[in-house]
Chain A
Amino acid sequence: MSQPNRLATGGRIDRSKPISVTFDGRPLEAYAGDTLASAMLANGETIVARSFKYHRPRGVYAAGAEEPNALVHLRSGGRHEPNTLATMAEAYDGLEARGQNAWPDVRYDMAAINQLGAPFFAAGFYYKTFIGPGRGTKFWMRCEQLIRRAAGMGRAPSAPDPDIYEKVNAHCDVLVIGGGVAGLAAALAAGRSGARVILAELDRDLGGALLAEPVGSASDEFLARLVAELQSLINVRILRRTTVFGAYDGEVYGAIERVGDHLQRPEPYMPRQRYWQIRTRRAVLATGAIERPVVFGGNDRPGVMLADGVRIYLARYAVLPARRAVVATNNDSAYRCALDLVRAGASVILVDARAEVPDGWASRLRAAGCEVLAGHAVLAATGSRAVRGAVIASVDRQGRANGPQRQIACGLIAVSGGWSPTLHLASQRGDKPVYDAEKACFLPNVDAGVAFTCAGSVAGSGKVDAAVRSGFEAGQAAAAATGKSRASGDFPFVPEAIVEADWTRDPGPVWSFAKFDGATLGKAFVDLQHDVARTDIDLAHREGFVSVEHLKRYTTLGMAADQGKLSNVSGLARMAELEQRAIPDVGTTRFRPPYTPVAIGAIAGHRTAAHFHATRRTPLHGWHEANGAKFIEAGYWLRAWYYPRAGESLNAAYVREASHVRQHAGLVDVSTLGKIIVQGPDAATFLDRIYANGFSTLKIGRLRYGVMLRDDGFVFDDGTVGRLGENKYFVTTTTANDAAVLGFMEFLLQTAWQDLRVSVTSVTDQWAAMALAGPKSREVLVQAVTGVDVSNAALPHAHLVETRIGGHDVRIHRMSYSGELAYEIFVPAKVAVVVWQAVMEAGRTCDLIPYGTEAMGALRIEKGHVAGPEIDGRTTLGDLGLEGLASRKKAFVGSVLRHRPLLVDPGRPALVGLEIDGGTGARAGALLFSANVPTTGHGEGHVTSTTYSPALGKPIALALLANGRGRHGERVRVVDFLSDTSLTAKVVSPHFYDPKGERQNG
C-alpha cells in the first residue's frame, strides 16, 4: 500500500501535486509541501539512519532543525550533499536521498556488529585503548588513521559543485529572528513604527507552533491576518527558509537562505544558497523552544519521537506514524499531542511522570477514549528494528520505578521531557543562561545594555497570547531604540478558540526513567546523534570530570550538528544528579555558531575559481596576452612570464630572451614595482629616517638605490628613490612589499613622527613601468623619445629625465636591474600600451624583443642583485653585502638594533654565488654542506635564487652561506632533501657578470 501512514484528509500539503522521491533507491510517494522526513514516515520508512558509533537503527525523531537521527545524503554527482536533515529537506519531484554511515544500506548495516562491542566503546575508549602501547605515538598514529576512516557520518562530495552561491550584505533597524507568533508580532510592531525590519524564519512557512494546529483552526485566520499585514509593509523584508546561524559582535548576524534547495536544480543564474551578513541596530530573538527528549532504555528505537514532532507530522503533513501510541510526558504540552493522535484515529495511552495530572486535559483525553496514567513513565521501548511496545511503570519523583512493570504494545512512543528555549544565539553573544526551576529550563539572561531582546517561548512564554504580547512589546521597544517612534497600533488580537497546552505550567523536573535500582532498562541515550549514553555520563563522573565543559568534550555530548539542542539539559541533569548538586550549580555549556550546519560554498559565495581572490593585472596585460605571453602568478599579480615561440619550452624561451637582452635589447613590463610618492617640506628628513642610506643630499633629477630596515635591524625592502622636486620624491619598492612599505610609512607618520610635514601616496596604479635593457637600448630610446638628449653625458646612470614617447609624457630613469645599459620608463597607466608599442616600434631596427620575468630573473641573478628570496626578513645588510650603504651620520629605522651581537656575528650566512657543476641547476631552498661533512641537519646555508646563466653557459645560483665571503673558491655540496638530489658547486662572488658595472654605466 502506498503511503500507509498518510491520513485521508488534512495536512498543509498539496494533494493535487503528487511527487516522487527516492530513498536508498526505493521510490516514495509524496505531495508538494512534504519534507523528506514526512515522506519517509508517510511511506513507512522506519529506519532512516544508523547511529554514529554503534550503528543502531534510527528513525525520524523530530520535525525540525533539532532532528538528531535523520541525517541523509541528498542528490548525486556534484550536487551530492552529506549530513542533510531530512526534516529540513523539502521534498520535490525527483529528489534522491540515501542513507549514510551504513553498508550496504541503513536497513541492513554490517557495521551493526559494533553493538556487540558497545560495553567497550564507552567515553574515552580511543584514548584509553590506543594511546600508550608501544614506544612513542607511532601505534596511536596508525590507529588514528583507522579510527578516522571509521568515524564520521556522511561522505564528502568529490565532484565540483555546479551550483552557485552568493553572499549578501543587509542592513536594518530591527532584525527579528523567528517567524512564530512572537516574531511575527515583533516584526509587526517594529514595522508599524517605521523601522526597517528583516524577519528571518528558517521554515518555508511563517507561523511557528501554530502550523501544528489542524488546518482550518482559528489560528489559521489569525496567522493569515498577521502575515498579510506584514507583507503589506514595504519596510519589512521577510526571509523564509532562512536560518540565522550566528550572532556576532557589533550586531552582525549570519544567516543562510536556502534559495534553491527545494528545487531539482536552482533556476538559471540563481544561487542554491545565499549567505546573508546582516548588520542591525537592534535584534529580537524569537527563536522559540525545542522539546526535550526523555531518557529511558531503548529510547533511540525507530518509533520513539518527540511529541511535538508527532503533532507537526499530523497537522502539517497528515502523517500518523503508528495506530497505537504511548505518550510519555512530564508536562502539559504532550496532552495536545495525545488529543491530536486520538482525533487522527490512534489508540493512545498517556503516562505522566507527575503525580498530579492537569484535570482539564486529563478529562478531555479520557472522554476521547485515551487512558491517562498519573505518576507513570516509560522505562523502556521494546523491539529491535522498530518500537513494538513500551514497558511502563509507576515512578517516584526521581524517575525510579516503584511499582510493577506493564507491557503495552505500540508502534509509537511520543515523548516530552519539557522544553528548552532556543537560546543558542543569545548564548553566542556571551549571555549566560539562568535556570528557571519553576519552568524547568534555562532562560536567556539578557543584560539591559545589549542590543537584542528575547521574546516568546525563548523568553519563557508558554502560551500564544503571552508570546504575541512579549513579541509585540519587544518589537516596539527595538524600534523605539532606533528612533522610530511612530505609533505601532493595537496589539494583535489572539482568538480564544486557539487551544493551548502550557509547557511552563508545573512541569515535573525529571527526564530520565529507570528501574527501582536506578539502572535503566536497557541502553538509554542522552545524545542520540553522538551515541552518548547515560552510562557515559556516569563513567565521566566516576573518572572525575566535574566541569560541564570537560564533560562535553570527554563524552562528545552536544557536539557537532546537534549543538546541544536536544541533549544538553538531560546531560546536565544527570551530571547534577550524580554530583548531588542543583542544575544551576552545574551550569551549562556555551553555544557556538553555527546553530545549524552551513555549507562552505555558501560562505565562499562568488569567491571561487577565478574569483577566489581578486587578480591584479598590469596596464600592459592585454598587450602581453595578444602577443602570446605565458603568465605566472606573483602574489595577486599576473605577470608576463615568457613569450614562447612555436614549440618552445619555458627554459628554451627564457634562455633565448636573456641572451638576446645581453646582445641586443629587450623590453620587460615592471609595472608591478611598488611606487610611492613622498611629498612635503620634510620629505627628505623622512626618507633619511626611513632608509639606511641618506636622501637629503640627493639632487633633483637624480636617483639612488636605497635599503630600509625593520625596527629589529633586519632588511625590510629595497628600491630606488628619485628626487622629482625640492619636496617631492618618487620611491619604488619591491613588488611584494608595496603595501607593506606604504603601511610602514603611514604608521610612522601617524604615530612617531606626527611632526613631519609629509604625505605619502601609493602611485602603483597611476604609473605603469617598463624596463628597456641591452647594449642597444640607448639606440632604441633615441628613436623613441622626442625633444630630449639621452646620451650618456646627458643622462648618465642614476639620473632621470622627463620627456615624451608616442605623444605622451613619460619619465625615464637610467637604472639597471639586469646589469646592462638600461632604462626604466614610467608612464601614466592609461597610455601605457601606446607608449609600449611606440618603444617596440622604435626598436624594430635594433632587434628589440619583449622578455618576461623568468629572463629578468636570470639576468638579475647573473648580476648578483638581491631580491625577495634574499630579502626574506632574516637577512642583515651585512649578510647581503650592503653594509657600506648604512649611514654613520644619521639615525634611521633599525640603526640601533642592527648592531645586536647576533646580527653582527661574522659567522652569519652571507650572500655568495654558486657555480653548479654539471648541467643540472640547483633548487631554491637546497641546503649547503661542506664537501667532507655528513649531510645531516640544516647545513651551513641554503640556495636562495637559481637559474641557468646564458652568459656563463652553466647553472648558477645565489645562496646564503655561513661565513660566505671568506669561502670563495671552496667547493660545497648542494643537497635538496625534497627531491633527494645532491650536486656540487664552487663558491664564488655573487656578481657573476660584469662585476665592475662597465656595461650598465657605458
Chain B
Amino acid sequence: MADATTFLEASARPGRHGAGSGSAPAAIRIRERSLGALVQLTSWGQSDTIGEVAGPLTLDRPLTPGRVSRAAGDVRLYQLAPDRLWLNDDDHASVCAVTSQLDTNRFSELDLSSSRVVIEVSGSVVEDLMARLVAIDCTAEAFAPGAFALTALHEVSVLIKRTSADTVAIWVPITWAESLWSYVCVAAEPFGYEIVAEEDT
C-alpha cells in the first residue's frame, strides 16, 4: 500500500536551518521519503531459514545480513535475522509478485507498510551527522552504499541504509517519527541543514 499522507508534514519546516548563512548551500539535506510497500516474511527458524525459503528467487546477490539484495522488478530484500526478511518496493504488487514465487507453507507474510517512516539525510558530511546519531561505523569503508543495519537511534530501534555515497535512509517506527525527526534536525544544526519537501527531490 502506497503512503496516503506525508506523515511528517506538520513538523517538517522546509527551508534552511542551523549553522551557516541562508544563501550558502546547506551541508545536510533532510527529507521524508515514501517507504512504499513493506512486507515481512518470517520462517520457522528450526526447520527453515528465510534464506532457504527465498531460495527460488532470482536475486542480484545472495541474501546476506547487512546487504540489500534485489529481486526481479527491483524489489529490495533485507535479511534482518535468520528467520526474518523484509521486502520493499514502491509498488505493493511488485512485492506480491515476488512472494507469489515462494512456498506459502514455509513462511508467514505480514504487511508493515504503515509501520515505518523514512527520514533521508544527505550531504557531504552525512557520515559526521550519522556519527552523532548512531553508534555504528557509518564511514564509507565500513558502511558502503547498499549496506543496511538495524541499530538504535535515541534508543529507538531503526533500520539505516546507505543509499549512496552521501545519502543515508533511516527507517523509523511511525510513532517515534516526529520525535526522531526533531532529534536528527538538532544533531544537524552545527552543520547547517535544509529540509526539503518530497516533491522537490
A residues near B, CB below 8 A?
A: 166-171, 196, 267-271, 277, 279, 606-607, 610-611, 613-619, 621-622, 637, 671, 677, 679-680, 727-728, 754-755, 757-759, 761, 763-767, 808, 828-831, 833-834
Please state if B183 and A679 are interface contacts (CB–CB under 8 Å): no
- The contact sample of 9 A-B pairs, CB cut-off 8 A, is A168-B132, A169-B135, A169-B136, A267-B19, A606-B187, A617-B179, A755-B46, A831-B5, A833-B5
B151 to chain A, nearest CB (A): 10
Question: B179 is contacted by which of A615, A671, A828 (Cβ under 8 Å)?
Answer: A615
Decide if B112 touches A763 in the complex (CB within 8 Å): yes
A614 & B114 in contact (Cβ 8 Å cutoff): no
Complex Cα–Cα for A879 and B116 (A): 40
**Could you say which of B44, B136, B190 contacts A758, with CB atoms under 8 Å apart?**
B44
Q: Which residues of B contact A680 (CB under 8 A)?
A: 42, 44, 108
Q: Do A271 and B190 contact each other (CB < 8 Å), given the known contacts A611-B154, A611-B182, A617-B178? A: yes
B142, A766: Cβ atoms closer than 8 Å: no
B18 within 8 A of A: yes
Identity of the chain A residue whose Cβ is nearest the Cβ of B190 in the assembled complex:
A269
Taken together as a complex, chains A and B put the C-alpha atoms of A405 and B179 apart, in Å, by 73
What CA separation (Å) do A767 and B156 show in the bound complex? Answer: 18
Tell me the nearest residue of chain A to B38, going by C-beta. Answer: A766
A614 and B176 contact, CB distance less than 8 A:
yes
Inter-subunit contact A834/B4 (CB<8 Å): yes
A235 (CB) vs chain B CBs: closest residue:
B141
What's the Cα separation between A836 and B178 when bound, in Å? Answer: 20
B115 within 8 A of A: yes
Bound complex: CA A680 to CA B114 (Å): 22
- Assuming the contacts A168-B131, A171-B142, A761-B40, asked whether A830 and B180 have C-beta atoms less than 8 A apart, the reply is no
Bound form: Cα–Cα A757–B48 in Å: 10
| Docked CA distance A621–B181 (Å) | 15
Closest to A750 in B: B45
A614-B176, A616-B175 given as contacts; is B186 within 8 A of A828 (CB)? no
The answer to whether B19 touches A268, judged by C-beta atoms less than 8 angstroms apart, is: yes
Contact partners of B136 in chain A: CB under 8 A: 169
A614 CA to B178 CA, complexed, in Å:
9
Min CB–CB distance B30 → chain A (angstroms): 15
CB–CB A759/B108 < 8 A? yes
Q: Contact at B134–A169, with CB atoms within 8 Å? A: yes
Interfacial chain B residues near A829, Cβ < 8 Å: 114-115, 174-175
Q: How far is the CB of B141 from chain A (nearest CB, A)?
A: 7
When chains A and B are docked, how far (Å) is the Cα of A169 from the Cα of B135?
A: 6
Residues of chain A contacted by B5 (CB below 8 angstroms):
830-831, 833-834
CB neighbours (8 Å) of B135 from chain A are: 169, 277, 279
A727 touches B114 (CB 8 A): no
- CB–CB B83/A166 < 8 A: no
User: Given the complex, which residues of B lie within 8 Å of A828, measured CB to CB?
Assistant: 1, 113-114
Q: Measured between C-beta atoms, what is the minimum distance from A233 to chain B in Å?
A: 15
Q: B166 at the A/B interface (Cβ < 8 Å)?
A: no
* Contact status A679-B110, CB under 8 Å: yes
Q: Is B137 an interface residue (CB 8 A)?
A: yes
Does B101 sit within 8 A of A, measured CB to CB? no
Nearest A residue to B128, CB-CB: A168
CA–CA, A613 and B174, complex, Å:
16
B139 touches A167 (CB 8 A): no
Chain B interface, number of residues (Cβ within 8 angstroms): 52
Select from chain A the residue with minimum beta-carbon distance to B44.
A757
Instruction: Please determine whether B155 and A759 come into contact, CB atoms closer than 8 angstroms.
Output: no
* B154–A765 CB distance below 8 A: no
| Chain A hits for B141, CB < 8 A | 196
Asked whether A765 lies within 8 Å of B137 as measured between CB atoms, the reply is: no
A810 to chain B, nearest CB (A): 12
Closest B residue to A166 by CB, please name it. B132
Q: Is B108's CB under 8 angstroms from A728's CB?
A: yes
Residues A610 and B187 in contact in the complex (CB < 8 Å), given A617-B175, A808-B4, A830-B114: no
CB pair A679–B42 under 8 Å, yes or no, is yes
- Contact: A757 with B179, CB < 8 Å? no
From the candidates B3, B108, B111, B134, name the one contacting A766 in the complex (CB within 8 A): B111
B180 to A, closest residue via Cβ: A614
The complex places the Cα of A765 from the Cα of B45 at a distance, in Å, of 25
Nearest-Cβ distance from residue A871 to partner chain B, whole angstroms:
23
Q: Is B10 an interface residue when CB atoms closer than 8 A count as contact?
A: yes
Say which residue of B110, B156, B180 sits within 8 Å of A677 (CB atoms).
B110
Q: Known contacts A607-B154, A614-B183; can you find 7 more A-B pairs with CB under 8 A?
A: A269-B18, A606-B187, A614-B176, A617-B179, A680-B42, A759-B83, A830-B7
Q: Collect the chain B residues with CB atoms within 8 Å of residue A765's CB.
A: 114-116, 173-175
Q: Which residues on B sit within 8 Å (CB–CB) of A606?
A: 132, 183, 186-187
Instruction: Quote the shortest CB–CB distance from B80 to chain A (angstroms).
Output: 11
CB distance from B194 to the nearest CB of A (A): 14
Chain A residues with CB under 8 A of B180 = 614
Contact A763 B45 (CB under 8 A): no
Given contacts A610-B182, A764-B175, A808-B4, contact A167 B132 (CB under 8 A): yes
Q: With A830-B5, A834-B4 as given contacts, are A166 and B183 in contact (CB-CB < 8 Å)? A: no
Q: Which residues of A contact B90 (CB under 8 A)?
A: none
CA distance A830 to B46 in the complex (A): 35
Cα distance A616–B3 when bound, in Å?
Answer: 20
CA distance A829 to B190 in the complex (A): 33
B47 at the interface (CB under 8 A from A): yes
- Determine the chain B residues whose CB is within 8 A of the CB of A758 once the complex forms: 44
A166 contacts B156, C-beta separation under 8 Å: no
Chain B positions 105 through 136: 1 when the CB is less than 8 Å from some CB of chain A, otherwise 0:
00010111111100000000000100110111
Partner pick for A270 among B19, B116, B132, B183, CB 8 A cutoff:
B19
8 nearest A-B residue pairs (beta carbon): A679-B108, A759-B42, A828-B114, A757-B44, A171-B137, A766-B115, A269-B19, A765-B115
B189 at the interface (CB under 8 A from A): yes
Contacts of A168 in B (CB 8 A): 128, 131-132
> Which residues of chain A have C-beta atoms less than 8 A from B112's C-beta?
761, 763, 766
Question: By the criterion CB–CB under 8 Å, are A619 and B131 in contact?
Answer: no
CA distance A637 to B175 in the complex (A): 9
Chain A contacts of B178 at CB under 8 A? 615, 617, 621
Chain B residues 155-195 with CB under 8 Å of chain A are 155-156, 173-176, 178-180, 182-183, 186-187, 189-190, 192
Residues of A within 8 A of B114 (CB): 765-767, 828-831
Of all chain A residues, the one with the shortest Cβ separation from B18 is A269
List B contacts of A831 (CB < 8 A).
Answer: 4-5, 114
Beta-carbon contact of A613 and B108 below 8 Å:
no
Whether A622 contacts B10 by the Cβ 8 Å rule is: yes
- Give Cα distance in the complex from A695 to B189, angstroms: 52
* Docked pose: A764 CA to B43 CA in angstroms: 21
Interface core residue of B42, B84, B111 (most chain A CB under 10 Å): B42
One of A268, A271, A616, A757 near B47 (C-beta < 8 A): A757
Nearest CB of chain A from residue B73's CB, rounded to whole Å? 23
Name the CB-closest residue of B to A610: B182
- CB contact under 8 A between A759 and B115, given known A606-B187, A680-B108: no
Residues of A with C-beta under 8 A to B47: 757
